[in-house]
Structure 1
Amino acid sequence: MNHLEIIGHKEENTKKIALKLNELLADYHMFYMNLRGLHWNIKGPQFFALHNKFEELYDNAAEKIDEIAERILSIGETPVHSLSEYTKKSGLKEELNVSEAKAAIEVVLNGFKYLLAQQKEILELADELDDEATNAMMGDYISEQEKLVWMFHSTTR
């Protein structure tokens, strides 16, 4: 008996979910790199607060990268693991030389907007295919990020 039978998943379903999770993995890598750039390059009166917040966010993104890759492995598939694949698969674009607070916050909000849409799509697919673990993971990510969007959006008002 293979491990998919033990956990109650069908191979054709796990392939569909892994495809979307690999896209999300690539998106998180791009988001992570953008956050690193914001952390390094932020300037101005909000430097200390944003510098620290961007570090917190990229540490969190790194944790999610690992969790997503491990989820892909746990359903019998292989996570993408090269920069060239991340660049090809990610729907997020690189953000270069952003140093002003308002522009940096917009980068974060746009990143969350994109990630939230991807995660909600995966949530629906996981629900449809009875993949409770992926469903729960996406639900946790969405809940956390919706709160962060509210907080970041509040700083721009």
Structure 2
Amino acid sequence: MKNLVGLDSNKAEKLAEELNILLADYEIFYQNLRGLHWNIKGKEFFELHDKFEELYKDAFVKIDEIAERILTLEAVPLHIYSDYLKTTQIKEEKNVSDGTKGVQVVINNFKTLVEKEREILAIAADVDDEGTVSLMSDYISETEKTLWMFNSYLK
């Protein structure tokens, strides 16, 4: 049986489950970034305060895109924090005010995200879901570049 966009319904359902994991990861990442933005202190304050804001704004857009992709696959996106916390692979961070520690949190979170994006890319390719393939491909390119930049910041 095919869904609205012509994909095998069972395979699309499995793909949507994986996308829901990514959605949960991005929601917790988003909140981690908000905390970093609010609580950062020290000589890197101005630089990192702005950078964390840029990242959480980008994460906010991605959260919406992922949820809409799940809906396109005829599934229901997770939408409450208790479900996000049960599903996420990203650890909540609390009261991080040190710039180096904050950047390390971002790096660790991005490593988790890019790993999940690659998993989803492979599944989507197997399902012939070009929409999800394209989305994940774009995310992977962005995430890899951002990881390189943040890693360079720590050197």
Deviation at 1:3, TM superposition (A): 8.4
* SS at 1:97 equivalent: coil
- Aligned-pair identity (%): 52
The total of aligned residue pairs comes to 155
Q: 2:24: which partner in 1?
A: 26
For 1:50-87, what per-residue CA distance to the aligned partner results, in whole angstroms no more than 9, with x for missing partners?
Answer: 00000000000000000000000011111010010000
Supply the distance in 2 between the matched residues of 1:3 and 1:32 (Cα, whole angstroms). 34
One-letter amino acid matched to 1:40: W
Q: Is the contact between residue 2 and residue 9 of structure 2 (CA under 8 Å) also seen in structure 1?
A: no
Query: Following superposition of structure 1 onto structure 2, how do residues 54-133 of structure 1 map, counting pairs within 5 Å?
Result: 54-133=52-131
One-letter amino acid matched to 2:114: L
Supply the distance in 2 between the matched residues of 1:119 and 1:92 (Cα, whole angstroms). 14
Deviation at 1:154, TM superposition (A): 0.7
Alignment pair present for 1:46 and 2:39: no
Q: Which portions of structure 1, spanning 4 or more consecutive aligned residues, are displaced by more than 3 angstroms? A: none
Deviation at 1:110, TM superposition (A): 0.1
Supply the distance in 1 between the matched residues of 2:77 and 2:86 (Cα, whole angstroms). 14
One-letter amino acid matched to 1:4: N
Q: 1:142: which partner in 2?
A: 140
Q: 1:4: which partner in 2?
A: 3
* SS at 1:80 equivalent: coil
TM-score, structure 1 as length reference: 0.96
Q: Structure 1, unaligned stretches of length 5 or more?
A: none
TM-score, structure 2 as length reference: 0.97
Q: Is the contact between residue 2 and residue 8 of structure 2 (CA under 8 Å) also seen in structure 1?
A: no
RMSD, matched Cα: 1.2
Deviation at 1:4, TM superposition (A): 2.3
Supply the distance in 1 between the matched residues of 2:22 and 2:117 (Cα, whole angstroms). 8
Q: Structure 2, unaligned stretches of length 5 or more?
A: none
* SS at 1:4 equivalent: coil
For 1:124-146, what per-residue CA distance to the aligned partner results, in whole angstroms no more than 9, with x for missing partners?
Answer: 10011111110110000000011
